[in-house]
Structure 1
Amino acid sequence: MTSPSQPSIRPPRPAHPALRLFIAILMALLGFIAVPAAAQTNHIAAQLVPERAAKPGETIEIAIAMRPEDGWHGYWLNPGDAGFGMGLDWELPDGAMTGAPLYPTPEPLLIGSLMNHVYEGPYAVLVPFTVPVDAAAGDALPVRLRADWLACTDRICVPEQAELSAVVTVAAEDANPSAATVSDPRFASWRQALPAPVLAKGRYQIDGGNIRIAVPLAASAQEDQPHLFFADDGIVDYAAPQNFERQGDWLIVASKARQNARAGGPLEMVLRLDTTGAGIGFTAEAGKVPAISGANIKPDSLFGSTGLALIAAAFAGGLLLNIMPCVFPILSLKALHLARAGGDGHAARREALAYTAGVVLAVLALGGVMLALRAAGSEIGWAFQLQEPATIVLLLALVVAITANLAGLFEFTLPVGVESNGGGAFMTGLLAAVAATPCTAPFMAAAMGAALLLPPVQALLLFGALGLGLATPFLAIGFIPALRRLLPRPGPWMERFRRIMAIPMALTDMALLWLGWRLGGTALLAGGVLLTLLVLALCWLVRKRQRRGLSAMLPAVAACLVALAGAGAASAFVDPQDNRPPESAIPGTLPFSEDALAQARAKGPVFLYFTADWCVTCKVNEQVAIARDPVIKAFGDNGVTVMAGDWTRRDPAITRFLSAQGAAGVPLYLWYRPGHEADQLPQVLHSQLLIDRAVLSNGKPER
């Protein structure tokens, strides 16, 4: 009984059965996807801290104290394969001067095939500050700094900036010695984090694409998981393994040099000695360096903290593939099958395992074929099969048949023995994997890029993790009774829901026809339309025979033969290079070539993106982030050159470039600041990120 002062609460209406099905699948997805935190103003807080009071003409240090949020990191002066260091714009009193910033020893962070030089916890950059010689005792000298930097997680990067200020007090010439002591106790730990300078010179030698460095390190010094950082860019392949060997008072380091790297002047380097952050700084000059024994060379490996992160990325990428418009209906129908089966937990688990086996085996097979073709010399990447007209024709026939089945044009049934032993679920898993291959979901890029560089067994482990992620929602529904209880009871609504699921599959049909036109022109489009009509006609014949109680084997076999004949004709007569010109998201976009990229980089900032007509993520990014009026205006105002690489068709030059960037497929977004290597942007773009990059890239001094 309700209180008279409060309105009565009406019991909620029961959710529609289709809605309950959607909630069950959504909960299975959400249980494995972390929701990113809401964006804040700055993810790395900054503060300007003077060391102490100083006498006229004396040099002290001012700290730029940085405190990243959990999960975020900042960059060293040489950020490595991605990111960029700090930009500092000082406003000083007359006669005051600042020196070169002193950075603490960084830590390596490998994300996919990209090695970054970062700080994942609080750190401080110390800057020498000289007080004007004519400053008077007691003066309060205002120091202002406009700093900008890049804050990143393993998924996104955000350009940030801050206006910082501090006051340096001028001490008297005859001040008590205590005035010269450090007033802020943090400077002791900040100085300790700097690499200890070593006066002895090191040596380096570049030979045959490899580089060896002799580091002056006393035999008594200890190192544990060392890493060598180069302050100069363009010398070493940052992500390549570093191999170490002791030779007396020298630590010999061997790694892979960058293409066209040549020995020249002295190089500044920092050796991180262990995981505590202790390090040394030294200068190396060109000279002879002894080789190290092959027994000490450490091969690339997936087993370790970085490897586990790649496996997790592949799993998360596969999980997200379930929400693609051509995969979600298949997952929904398998959930409907469970709903129709009732509460039989044993049957649900059998179906889930069979479905998972189909998905994982299909992804492993696709990955194995890709690796084998690459080993044989073919320049291909993820979703390579969609660059072939024959594949488009086969997929079109398959998707048309699925659409007709969902729409009720015919019934597809397996023999009872096959269906009862999970054969239907297994085949559905194969189908889901095939339908998902056109896309590269977030998290997948690093994992699939690494798969191209790892030994075959470890690469297949990544593909298996991708397949397991794709199968996980249905696996969860099959093994978690609470999720199965969310499934609605069987009823007439199931047939209506099935008809609704025909709509996204029909849209996939249209997308494949459009892709055929883009890939092979009018000939492939016309052939695709004819194939669609023939398959629909044969499906209608199947239905007609089924209603009469006759065998539908003949028209079903005919449909398969029609699909194979169409694929053969497309392969033999359609030239995938004779097609319509690539579309660009922004007018005036230049087509990609390495020569054009070099010329554009010499002129100013460059935004380079790689896309394909079959890539759903690419097309969404182009519509919601790239082809936006504010972005186009920001690019024009700041002299940004836009360049696009269209990978719809097989293009060996683009494939080689993608591989060099550690990417197995598209999308790939690269930003070039003048005088800097590429920053790899996240796979899910937003327009403000591009606008901020354009503004920060314009007129910034080089490090």
Structure 2
Amino acid sequence: MVFLFLFSCFFSAKVFCISPESVIELQWGEVVYETATYVKVPLKILITPHWKLMGPKSIGDTLSHPPEIFWKNSENISDVQVLWPAPIPWFEAKQRGQIYRHHVFAMLYVQLKDRNGGKLNIEFRGQCCGNVCKIVKETLSLPLNSYQAFQGRSWKMLLFAFLGGAILNVMPCVLPVLGLKLKGLSKVSPFLLKRTFLMTSLGIFLGFWLLALTTILLKFVFQKEVGWGIHLQNPYFLIALCLVMVISSYSLLGLFQFNIPRWTLHFVPKDYRTSLGALGSGLLAVILATPCSAPFLGPALGYFLCGTVQEILYGYTSIACGFALPYIIGFVFPIYRFLPKPGAWMVILERLIGISFLGAAIWLVWWPLRSFLSVFMQQLALGLLILMACVPLLHYFLTYRLPLLWKSILLFAFPSMAGIGLFLLPFFSQQSSQKISMQDGKIHWIPWSPALMRQSIQAGRIVFIDVTGMGCLTCMLNKQVFLHPNIQNLLAKPNMVCMRADYSTGADEITALLKSFSRAAIPFNVLISKDFPGGIVLNELLSVKEIEEVLELFKKFQPSKDLKNNKILYKKGEKNV
């Protein structure tokens, strides 16, 4: 009999994992990898019979010691959010509180720093009451390996990166370079054409590899959050890019020509000078492409920028393959037969490209640079740039009437002084008072913050997050969708909280928000609620139909009765889109 009694005690201990000294016991549920860096981890807390666990505090409670979960000793984890189910009201001897009995399921939303996996180490602290009350502490660990769960997704993201790079060729930032290449190719003899295509492709690959190297250094050496176009958050880089466009436009409009220094002619054979120019044009195309985003590019960059050094290199190389696709086709196939012959059209095209470069320079000052300048300084910068843009007109009408001294002042001294003035403006400018618009018709946006977002979700509101920035062309198109009457009525409802974040400020919190959804570029829009804590990410180019369908899905979703009874259900609609 004694042997049977001891055997039954041992068996009970193995099944329920609760020793006579324990009051609670922790168990992990089935882990759900929503994205490569976002994991849902159910935590089951078993409570000994005749004991109760105090739940989250409610208004009017006299007894409260809410449960807490600490995770700071975890590995490669940036954030953990805990969602507790509704507790049971409890009254006894004029005391009131919220309790759990038998067992309770808590949901942990874990944000990994990258896709290299991690280890979740938690310490649970709470108050349990039976005949007496006591504080309980339990620890539990869980290894997380998101890399295996998303290993097959790498090929899809490589395809997205390739398509995004190919689409970059028709974005407004890069079109002037394509026109310039078309003009240049028409001058090249057919036997040098293949070499020109090859060198342009190499310039593109070199440019993207330099971007990859910069990204790796910032992420792994300097521990900085990185994203697509992050260098555009530096005002001096924007001004330098603006001046490069102005100087290029002067050359295209006939003010002067770029010539290789004579001392370099001894090192560069004549046959290779055209190749060096092609290499430089490829690098210039990459620099001009970085302010732009394209379909497929945001998800792909977000995926690779969360990965290892090798994955970052693979991602940028795939973008380079797509971006260099027209030149690779020209290298493989004999397309010189279809190129137009030299003629008067080349002069007209050259002038149009020069004007487009001036327009791009003005746009850089008007939109991206306004985040770093006060209103007065931005107006002064625009004035200086417009004066520089007038130099070709003055050269055209007055160059033959002016002596050599005044001509030199007009063509060199005046633009140089204006360029130096542009560089000094950010140094003397106070913090920019210009901010993104927080009003779209009836939609009142509030500044995004992690704390306010969590509070709104816990309160049962639907949160719409719009991450935008100065100078984002796609963001401007999306704003027209927000002004649509149907979207105005939907987003202005009392159950909606509309938040907007300015990516051009360079805040690490906003970059971390994008990274949590495996994104690295703007525009970015997501809808989150208590029933959809993983969020539903919208397409980069918004549509009225898409927003209506997602909000209809949120409206139809009703928390099931099992959830109220402390059972966590997993529905297909909860997964990230």
- Range class of TM-score, shorter chain: 0.5 to 0.7
Query: Residue type matched to 2:424 in 1?
Result: A
Residues 241 and 651 of structure 1, relative CA distance in 2, 3 Å threshold: closer
Q: Report the equivalent of 2:206.
A: 361
Q: Report the equivalent of 1:81.
A: 34
Structure 2: how far apart are the matches of 1:485 and 1:302? Answer: 49
Q: Paired residue for 1:658, among 486, 507, 514?
A: 514
Aligned length: 451
Query: Residue type matched to 2:503 in 1?
Result: W
Query: Residue type matched to 1:505 in 2?
Result: F
Q: Report the equivalent of 1:435.
A: 288
Q: Report the equivalent of 1:635.
A: 491
2:460 matches 1:580: no
**Contact conserved, 1:478 with 1:484, CA < 8 A, in 2?**
no
Residues 594 and 319 of structure 1, relative CA distance in 2, 3 Å threshold: same
Q: Report the equivalent of 1:311.
A: 158
Q: Paired residue for 1:668, among 524, 536, 551?
A: 524
Q: Report the equivalent of 1:426.
A: 279
Residues 423 and 698 of structure 1, relative CA distance in 2, 3 Å threshold: same
Query: Residue type matched to 1:488 in 2?
Result: P
Equivalent residues in 2 for 1:407-418 (5 A)? 407-414=253-260, 417=270
2:376 matches 1:376: no
Equivalent residues in 2 for 1:441-452 (5 A)? 441-452=294-305
Classify the secondary structure of the residue corresponding to 2:370: helix
Q: Report the equivalent of 1:529.
A: 383
2:558 matches 1:701: yes
**Contact conserved, 1:302 with 1:308, CA < 8 A, in 2?**
no
- My pick for the range that moved more, 691-700 or 645-654, is 691-700
Deviations 1:399-429 (A, max 9, x none): 2233344444444444684863411111111
Residues 568 and 509 of structure 1, relative CA distance in 2, 3 Å threshold: closer
**Contact conserved, 1:606 with 1:671, CA < 8 A, in 2?**
yes
Query: Residue type matched to 1:486 in 2?
Result: F
Residues 399 and 407 of structure 1, relative CA distance in 2, 3 Å threshold: same
Per-residue deviation, 1:115: 7.6
**Contact conserved, 2:469 with 2:503, CA < 8 A, in 1?**
yes
2:422 matches 1:469: no
Per-residue deviation, 1:564: 6.7
Structure 2: how far apart are the matches of 1:630 and 1:442? Answer: 25
Q: Report the equivalent of 2:170.
A: 323
**Contact conserved, 1:313 with 1:447, CA < 8 A, in 2?**
yes
Q: What is the percent sequence identity of the aligned residues?
A: 23
2:397 matches 1:397: no
Classify the secondary structure of the residue corresponding to 2:527: strand
Equivalent residues in 2 for 1:177-576 (5 A)? 208-209=73-74, 233-236=107-110, 255-257=118-120, 305-342=152-189, 344=190, 346-374=191-219, 375-414=221-260, 417=270, 420-481=273-334, 483-515=335-367, 516-520=369-373, 521-534=375-388, 537=391, 562=417, 565-566=420-421, 568-575=423-430
Query: Residue type matched to 1:440 in 2?
Result: S
**Contact conserved, 2:302 with 2:518, CA < 8 A, in 1?**
yes
Structure 1: how far apart are the matches of 2:200 and 2:38? Answer: 34
Residues 566 and 311 of structure 1, relative CA distance in 2, 3 Å threshold: farther
Per-residue deviation, 1:522: 2.2
Residues 430 and 290 of structure 1, relative CA distance in 2, 3 Å threshold: closer
Residues 241 and 612 of structure 1, relative CA distance in 2, 3 Å threshold: closer
Deviations 1:585-607 (A, max 9, x none): 62411111112212332242111
Equivalent residues in 2 for 1:152-167 (5 A)? none
Per-residue deviation, 1:78: 9.5
Per-residue deviation, 1:460: 2.4
**Contact conserved, 1:612 with 1:648, CA < 8 A, in 2?**
yes
Q: Report the equivalent of 1:199.
A: none
Q: Report the equivalent of 2:505.
A: 649
Structure 2: how far apart are the matches of 1:647 and 1:207? Answer: 28
Residues 561 and 362 of structure 1, relative CA distance in 2, 3 Å threshold: farther
- Structure 2, unaligned stretches of length 5 or more? 1-29, 42-69, 77-104, 127-136, 560-568, 570-577
State the TM-score, normalizing by the size of structure 1.
Answer: 0.55
Structure 2: how far apart are the matches of 1:371 and 1:555? Answer: 44
**Contact conserved, 1:356 with 1:471, CA < 8 A, in 2?**
yes
Per-residue deviation, 1:554: 10
Per-residue deviation, 1:628: 1.8
**Contact conserved, 1:397 with 1:535, CA < 8 A, in 2?**
no
Residues 544 and 431 of structure 1, relative CA distance in 2, 3 Å threshold: farther
**Contact conserved, 1:235 with 1:257, CA < 8 A, in 2?**
no
**Contact conserved, 2:33 with 2:149, CA < 8 A, in 1?**
no
**Contact conserved, 1:386 with 1:392, CA < 8 A, in 2?**
yes
Per-residue deviation, 1:539: 9.8
Per-residue deviation, 1:560: 8.9
Residues 688 and 262 of structure 1, relative CA distance in 2, 3 Å threshold: farther
Q: Report the equivalent of 2:572.
A: none
Residues 302 and 364 of structure 1, relative CA distance in 2, 3 Å threshold: farther
Structure 2: how far apart are the matches of 1:423 and 1:329? Answer: 19
**Contact conserved, 2:365 with 2:381, CA < 8 A, in 1?**
no
Equivalent residues in 2 for 1:133-144 (5 A)? none
Per-residue deviation, 1:477: 2.4
Per-residue deviation, 1:261: 9.1
Structure 2: how far apart are the matches of 1:518 and 1:424? Answer: 34
Query: Residue type matched to 1:451 in 2?
Result: F
- Structure 1, unaligned stretches of length 5 or more? 1-76, 83-109, 118-204, 212-230, 244-254, 265-285
Deviations 1:463-507 (A, max 9, x none): 2222232222133224321x4333222221222233333454343
Query: Residue type matched to 1:495 in 2?
Result: V
Residues 453 and 643 of structure 1, relative CA distance in 2, 3 Å threshold: same
Residues 671 and 289 of structure 1, relative CA distance in 2, 3 Å threshold: closer
Structure 1: how far apart are the matches of 2:146 and 2:445? Answer: 41
Structure 2: how far apart are the matches of 1:560 and 1:658? Answer: 40
Residues 430 and 553 of structure 1, relative CA distance in 2, 3 Å threshold: farther
Query: Residue type matched to 2:538 in 1?
Result: L
Structure 2: how far apart are the matches of 1:560 and 1:299? Answer: 55
Residues 238 and 373 of structure 1, relative CA distance in 2, 3 Å threshold: closer
**Contact conserved, 1:613 with 1:619, CA < 8 A, in 2?**
no
Equivalent residues in 2 for 1:121-132 (5 A)? none
Q: Paired residue for 1:593, among 414, 435, 449?
A: 449
Residues 301 and 637 of structure 1, relative CA distance in 2, 3 Å threshold: closer
Structure 2: how far apart are the matches of 1:239 and 1:332? Answer: 42
Structure 2: how far apart are the matches of 1:570 and 1:437? Answer: 23
Classify the secondary structure of the residue corresponding to 1:698: helix
Query: Residue type matched to 1:489 in 2?
Result: K
Classify the secondary structure of the residue corresponding to 2:540: coil
State the TM-score, normalizing by the size of structure 2.
Answer: 0.66
Classify the secondary structure of the residue corresponding to 1:234: strand
Residues 490 and 421 of structure 1, relative CA distance in 2, 3 Å threshold: closer
**Contact conserved, 2:253 with 2:351, CA < 8 A, in 1?**
yes
Deviations 1:666-701 (A, max 9, x none): 221111133322122221221111122223323631
Structure 2: how far apart are the matches of 1:558 and 1:523? Answer: 22
Residues 290 and 234 of structure 1, relative CA distance in 2, 3 Å threshold: closer
Per-residue deviation, 1:330: 0.6
Residues 357 and 504 of structure 1, relative CA distance in 2, 3 Å threshold: same
Per-residue deviation, 1:548: 12
- My pick for the range that moved more, 366-375 or 686-695, is 366-375
Classify the secondary structure of the residue corresponding to 1:372: helix
